[in-house]
Amino acid sequence: MMRARVGPGPLRDLKDLLYEVYLAAGSPTLDEIAADIESDDGLSGAPSRDSVHRCLSSPQLPVQQGDAVAVASVLARRAAWDRDDLTIRVRDLWLQVRMARPAGQPIAEYTNPFTLEVHRAIEAAATGEDPLPVLPAYVAREHDERLRQVVTEAADGESRLLVLVGGSSTGKTRACWEAVQKLPRGWRLWHPIDPSRPDAALEEIAAAGPRTVMWLNEAQHYLLTAVDGLGERVAAGLRELLRDPQRAPVLVLGTVWTEYWRILTTPPQPGHPDLHAQARALLTGHELPVPSAFTDDDLVALHERAEGDPRLAHAAERAENRQITQYLAGAPALLERYHTASDAERALIDAAMDARRLGHSPALPHALLEAAAEGYLNDQQWDLLGEDWLEQALAYAVQPLRGARGPLTRIRPRRGEPKPNQPHYRLADYLVQHSREHRRTTPIPAALWDALLDYAPLAERTALAQAAQTRGLMRLAIRFYTDAAAAGDIDALGRAGALLGEAGRVDEALTWYERAADSGDAFALKRAGDLLRAARRSREAITWYERAADAGNAFASRWAAGLVHDAVPTSQVVHQVTGAGKTASRAEEAIEWLQDRAETGDTVALMQVIDLLHEAGRSEEAIGWLQDRAEAGDTVALVRAADLLEEAGRLDEAIGWLHGRVDSGDAVALVRVADLLEEAGRLDEALDCFERAADAGDTLALVRAAELLEEADRLEEALDWYDRAADAGFAFALRAGAVLLRQAGMPERAITWYRRAAETGDTVALLRAADLLRQTRHHDEALTCYQRAADAGNAEALLRGAQLLEHDNRAEEAIDWLQARAATDLGDTMAQAAALLAAEGHVEKAIAWYQYAADSGHALAVKKAAQLLKQTGRTEEAAGLQDRTAASTPLPRRQPVSLLQSEGGHEKAIAWARRAAGAGDSDSLRRVVWLLRDAGRGIEAEQLSRYGWEADGTITESWNAAPPNTGPIEREA
């Protein structure tokens, strides 16, 4: 019998205990155990043979406590265990399991999809006697097939993760709802939300057991948290859950907007901290793009389902740009409600949109909205308001729209949830997205910042501080950081120090770094050293760097791992201070200082002293230092010694150094020896080492071997190694093999390899295959590949497919192609569609598509649209289009030279940069400082650089940036 697979908790303890006594008893058969039970009249339970099997191997709790006790009793007798002690333990564990609350509840109990945040749809009158169901009939699309496959794999016993990625109201959550309905009976669904999403997730991950769906709608709220580290801990917990065989199968389903997906999965720039390493490791490779628009096939299916559901028919008739799900979710009505609102009503919604744009969480306090709304009304509007203006504005904003949410929705706590001290409201998701696109350069009134300082929850302060900081509002940012630190966010201290350091306020920054270090943030010591080094206060920097080096092995390991690869201070600063490299005496001083550090166990200092010895021409001494480490088993030191010998041209000695590790099968040493052998021209011997390294677990050696064979023009052998590398999990090896075949003039074989790569999800390979098919005049096959790549989100495939159709004189098909597949963020694609429409004489449609492209950031789209309008004699419309766009378009990252050289150019450029700051352009303050200096206004430039802006656009006067003067801060739980 197999051990039961159960998640952590008392049930696992019970199952493990029963299985251990079963093994100790000699693993008797079920018949033998059942016979022992039948012959013992003193037992309280009499389980059958099948019940005995369930007690030992099933992941379920035995229905009767007596059954578990009976099995334990007879097994204890066979194993010579203390029967009384064992039966007491079994009874206690059985009761603990009965008392424990497993994560989630049975899926069958979720009869209301709206409790899982599925969007309500527009309303329509039923055509028959029966009322319409709460959700419109579902139209399955291409992504649903992949989702169904993953759910099936989970039902078959494999833990799985899938995150649906797309814009607001594209049908992500509804698709997940439909998919989980297919899970068999016995599955549970867990939707963690209380007290906050990430806190609830972190608290209950350990309680999640087999056959549980983790419902992470809007996954950014779980993984992209304002409190540094919380989202990473959630991601780490989910990774551990997914790889725990005792808790399989679990199914993690998430949804996220594209912009958050990019933040969570994009690696950091070199030298920057990796804030989302756990989230990236969790998510990468598990995305499922959800298109914003329906395809031709989707529309056919939509019309078929619309015959029985008037809501679908309504959407099919009225939705623009094939955005069916957005229309069903009430987007047009939301915008209509917003645009037709009164002054007070619109002020309230504007305040909510801007608060969310600044990073406030979805729950907006009543007092915050009331205080902020005043800043969106001029004096006349404010004076004309009635006494009950706020109540009327809220009533307007919360009124449902055709069955869906209004612009604002009152958040009502459920039974058992804590009651807030005031009402909270949630802004409709579509308006959140709309505000980020259409209000990105709208200035934030000072009243909103003041309201956020007064009423935003403490948990929001770090995110709001960052929003203020990117806009150059230094004083406000420091106030938010102060509040965040007082609430237990130690990281806020370091962030404030960094802000002040960038402003040149070094001594003030150091006081924040000191407080951060006192509170347990040892990394603040290193950042303080960096700041002092940049300020050329090198001796002080050394002191801070020494404190950082003494802070413990945790930092040494982080540096050695390369997370802050260029920030290890010890050798760099000593090198700078002593002038090592300029005079022999100062080089000696640096080396001696580092040797002292190395002897204390600082491995980073050891590697730095090796570098200095080598630079000083003392390689033998460096090798001597490395030898001690190598003999102690340090492979890194061994390889570094081999590097030094290689640089000296002593290849045979380098190989000899590594010989012992090679014989023991050390994969690192094998790869390094292979490189040395290849350099010595001994390719076949190198290949043998790569083979052994791959057998030892370094499968990347397969790729390296293939590359060497490719360089040696041994084509077929290289392809064999690339093939093996692909089988080992390196999908990119297939594309590398395809490139090799293409360069060798074998396009047909290259296409085959590209297609194999595409089957692994490599859309670039699909694009390359399409290009080759086009070159070999297989246009229909090429178009099929372009279509697959485009549907997978490859924007380049959209353009190339349209260009191919246009080349074949199929312009109308090219237009349909682009209109069917262009997502709202692909400005180039929409501009291409507009150009084709214009060429075919569809001027009105072309202008509309150019406007879509302009809204997506396409720089030339407005110019093209204006030219079309002028060509048709509509000069005033052309001028108006350009003016409206100029008022809502962010400042380009580089100032046009012509703008600066024109009369009054500096003032105009400064105004543009100030508006860019309102959009969160973190470079705008530096640009204005530069412009002020260039205009001869140095005093203003210096003041702005050190103190920033106020919310009203004026330059802040001198202010004190002292940190909170309480004792060391305890990190929030």
Question: Which range has highest mean pLDDT (589-593, 627-631, 806-810)?
Answer: 806-810
For residue range 377-400, list pLDDT tens digits in order: 999 999 999 999 999 999 999 987
> Once rounded to an integer, what is the mean pLDDT over residues 133-154?
93
What pLDDT was estimated at residue 564?
28
More confidently predicted of 462 and 875: 462
CB count in 10 Å sphere of residue 924: 25
pLDDT band at 480 (very low <50, low <70, confident <90, very high): very high
What pLDDT was estimated at residue 254?
96
- First-residue to last-residue Cα distance in the chain: 43
- Whether 38 shows a pLDDT value over 80: the answer reads yes
Give pTM, 2 decimals: 0.52
Contacts of 447 (CB under 8 A, 6+ apart): 371, 372, 373, 374, 375, 376
For residues 763, 767, 772, 774, the Cα torsion angle rounded to the nearest 10 degrees is 140
More confidently predicted of 858 and 344: 344
Q: How far is CA 730 from the centre of its chain?
A: 23
Beta bridge partners of 165: 256, 289
- Whether 47 shows a pLDDT value over 80: the answer reads yes
Task: Look at residues 599, 610, 597 and name the one whose alpha carbon lies nearest to residue 569.
Answer: 597
Among 96-105, 391-400, 739-748, the least confident range = 96-105
What pLDDT was estimated at residue 576?
40
Question: Which range has highest mean pLDDT (83-92, 586-595, 900-909)?
Answer: 83-92
Asked if 147 contacts 288 with a C-beta cutoff of 8 angstroms, the reply is yes
What pLDDT was estimated at residue 152?
95
Mean pLDDT over the full length of the chain = 78
For residue range 514-556, list pLDDT tens digits in order: 888 888 887 888 888 888 878 877 777 777 777 776 665 334 3
For residue range 189-207, list pLDDT tens digits in order: 999 887 788 888 887 787 7
In angstroms, the CA 303 to CA 310 distance is 10
Question: Which range has highest mean pLDDT (221-230, 446-455, 823-832, 958-967)?
Answer: 446-455
In the sheet that holds 424-427, the strands lie side by side as 364-365, 424-427, 408-411
What pLDDT was estimated at residue 672?
67
For residue range 331-355, list pLDDT tens digits in order: 767 888 888 899 999 999 999 999 9
What pLDDT was estimated at residue 718?
80
What pLDDT was estimated at residue 689?
74
Beta bridge partners of 212: 188, 250
Whole-number percent of the chain with pLDDT over 90: 22
For residues 768, 771, 773, 775, the Cα torsion angle rounded to the nearest 10 degrees is -140
Q: Which residue spans within 420-516 are E strands per DSSP?
A: 424-427
- Whether 610 shows a pLDDT value over 50: the answer reads yes
